[in-house]
Amino acid sequence: MTPPRFAVVILAAGQGTRMRSDRHKVLHPIAGKPMLVHLLDTVESIGAARSVVVVGKGREQIEAAVSGRAVDTAVQDEQLGTAHAVSMAKAALAGFDGPVVILYGDTPFVRGETIATMLERLAAGDSPGVVVLAFTPADAKSYGRVILEPGSDRIAAMVEYKDATPDQRAVGLCNSGMMAAHARDLWRWLDAVGNDNAAGEYYLPDVVAVARGEGRHPVAIEAAEAETAGVNSRAELAELERDWQARRRREVMDSGVTLVDPDSVWFSADTVVGRDCMIEPHVFFGPGVSVGERTVIRGFSHLEGTTVGDGCEVGPFARLRPGAVMERGSKVGNFVEMKKAVLGEGAKANHLTYLGDATIGAKANIGAGTITCNYDGFFKYRTVIGAGAFIGSNSALVAPVTIGEGAIVGAGSVVTGDVPGDALGIARSDQRNIGGWAADFRAEQKAKKDQA
C-alpha cells in the first residue's frame, strides 16, 4: 500500500517530569535508538513529505537529535493542551494542503502499515474528515474513550476519562491520541476547539466534535495495543524495551538463528545476524553490529560497533568494541577485548588478550596475555601483525610496531621494535638460577615470623 503525499506532526513538547531526567523524554532509547528516532525512521520509510516536531522545554536536545534530517521544529512555549500543540505546527506546514498525521514522540512503535491505513480511510469516498487511531487495551485505565455509532466505524463521541460518565468509562475502545485529517480542514477545526473542560486545556480529540458539527462523519480504526504504547516513566520505558526485545528475538529465530536462551539475549535496533548462527545465553548486542552466517557467539559476550564475518567464533566473555572487525573463520576466546582492530581470516586470539588499534593478518595466532600497547597518554598508535605470525603468551607489543609475516615473538617479550618476516623476536632478560636461594629465603622468613 503506497500512501498519498502526507505530512506528520509529532508532539514532543511535554515536560516528562516523571522520567526525572535531564534527557528529554522522547530521546530516551529503546534498543539503543531514541524513541523519537524510531518514529521518524518509520514515517520516512513510508514517504512522509513533511515532518514537524513540536518542541518545548529541552528543544535544543531535540533539534540536535534531528539535525541532518528533513525535519522542521515548531515551539510550544506554553503547555495549553494537545490541540494547542498541533496548532503550533501550522506555520511550518504553510502551503501544504495534503493529509496530516498527528503522532507522539513518546509513542514510538506505531507501524507504517497502520499509518498508511489511516490515510487510506481518510481518502475514502464517504470523506470522514478525521481518522482516529483507537485500541482496546487489557486495562483501559484512565485513557480517553472512543464511542462508536452502533455497527459502524463512525465516532459518536470522544471523551477524556476525567470528563467521562460511568457508562462511557465502561467502554473498552480507547483513544491513542493519534489521528489524521486534511490540512485544509485541520487548522480551521483546531481554531474552533475550546477549553471548557476539567483541565482547562485545548484537547485534540475535540476536533472530532467540531468536524461532526460541520456535518462530517469522523471514524476510528483500531490498532494493536503494542503500537499505541507510550512512555511516561522509567518503568514504562523498561516495559517497551522488554516488549521490543521479545518481538525482535522471535524475528531473529524465524530468520534461521538459534538463541539458546532467548530471554537473556539483547539486541539493538540495527543488529544484523546471519542465518545458522548460534547465540548462547547472556549476549548483548550494542548499536552497529553485523554478524555473518554460521558464526557462534558464546555466552556473556558484549558486541558494539562490530563486524563479524562468516564462520567465526566469539567468546565466551569476549568484548568487541567499536571498530572491531573479525574476518571469515577468525576466533576470539574468553576474556579477549578488541577495539579498532581487524582480525584476519582464520586468525585466532583464544584468551586473555587486548587488541587495540591493530591489524592482524590471516591465520596469525595471538597467545594468551598478549597486549597491544596502543596509547602513550596522548596519542594512539597502531600495531601490525603479519599473516601467519605467532605471538607468544604474555607479550606486550608497544606500538607503533610491525611484526612481519610468519614471524614469531617469544613468550614474555616486550617488543618495542619491528620484527622482520620469518624472524624470531625475543625481548626479555636472560634467566639466572641461584641454587638454594628459595630454601634460604623460606627459612629466613619463617624465623622472622616466629619472632613476631
The angle subtended at Cα 86 by Cα 80 and Cα 89, nearest 5°, is 120
How far apart (Å, rounded) are the C-alpha atoms in residues 95 and 90?
9
Helix-helix angle 112-122:35-45, to 10 degrees: 50
Rounded distance between C-alpha atoms, residue 394 and residue 385, angstroms:
16
The secondary structure element, H or E, covering residue 357 is: strand 348-360
- Provide the residue type at 388 as one letter: G
Distance, in Å, from the CA atom of 123 to the CA atom of 132, rounded to the nearest integer, reads 13
Phi/psi for 39 (5° steps) reads -70, -45
N residues, the chain: 452
Under 8 Å CB-to-CB from 33, ≥6 apart: which residues?
A: 41, 268, 269, 270, 287
Phi, psi angles (nearest 5°) of residue 132: -105, 135
* 351 tagged catalytic: yes
Amino acid at 326: M
Distance of CA 435 to the CA centre of its chain: 62
Please identify which residue in the block is written with the cell numbers 505546527: 89
Cα-trace Rg, the chain: 31
What's the CA gap between 178 and 192, in Å, rounded?
19
Q: What is the DSSP letter of 97?
A: -
CB 333 within 8 A of CB 351: yes
Give the integer Cα–Cα distance in Å for 391 and 402: 12
Closest CA to 424 of 413, 406, 414, 409: 409
Of the residues 24, 84, 282, 351, only one is catalytic, namely 351
**Residues involved in catalysis:** 351
